Amino acid sequence: MINVSKLKNEKAGFTLIELLLYVGVVAFILSGVTAFLFMTLQARIKTQAMNEVNYQGQQIINLVSQTIRNAEAVNSPTKQNNDSSLSVDMVDSAVDPTSFNISGGVIQIEEDGEGLIDLTNSKVIASNLMFHNYGLGDAPDSIHFEFQLDYKNLESRNEYNYSESFYGSASIRK
């Protein structure tokens, strides 16, 4: 038979040691989850910076390459020379001449002297734009170009630091 008076005297609940142990385990789990979420957020921000730089770089490579392929002739740089800008004669008189240059950290295009159009946005800084004309004699001009894009890190946070160099080549079709 169960002694009823003994049951009433036993206290239900946790001891101080058990309570401290449970609080410690929960705090450990929460700190691990918080660290994981923080690292995930940093990785997402870094990926956004990388995607922005790579997207803009690829778009510029495609546009410059297509413009060179569709050009009649290269005005600048002349054969076997380098220049920080490119000027080409186009078949379509509405965009003749077309030029690419860099100014204030922005890569720009100008078609038919109608004004400069920015090819990069305010999230990146462009630098080291260079065009090399490897054309020889009567052969079609062959242009190699390169530039660098840096993600603009206004907050000086490490996850926003990203820089990429881009390279492209194209020849005039004759």
Q: What is the pLDDT of residue 135?
A: 84
pLDDT tens for the 174 residues of the chain, in order: 556 555 555 666 778 888 889 899 999 999 999 988 888 887 888 888 889 999 999 999 999 999 999 988 888 898 889 999 999 988 887 788 899 999 999 999 998 878 899 999 989 999 999 999 998 888 888 999 999 999 988 777 777 888 999 999 999 886
In this predicted structure, what is the pLDDT of residue 65? Answer: 94
Predicted pLDDT at 140: 82
The confidence score (pLDDT) of residue 41 equals 83
Strand-pairing partners, residue 133, are: 143
Amino acid at 109: I
DSSP secondary structure of 39-54: HHHHHHHHHHHHHHHH
User: CB–CB of 171/140 below 8 Å?
Assistant: yes
For residue 10, the model assigns a pLDDT of 62
Query: What sign has the CA pseudo-torsion 115, 119, 122, 128?
Result: negative
Q: Which residues fall within 8 angstroms of residue 158, CB to CB, at 6 or more apart?
A: none
pTM of this structure: 0.76
Q: How far apart are CA 101 and CA 115, in angstroms?
A: 12
Structure-block tokens of residue 98? 């077309």
Q: Do 57 and 164 meet the contact criterion of CB atoms below 8 Å apart?
A: yes
**pLDDT score of 113:** 78
Structure tokens at 132: 């090399």
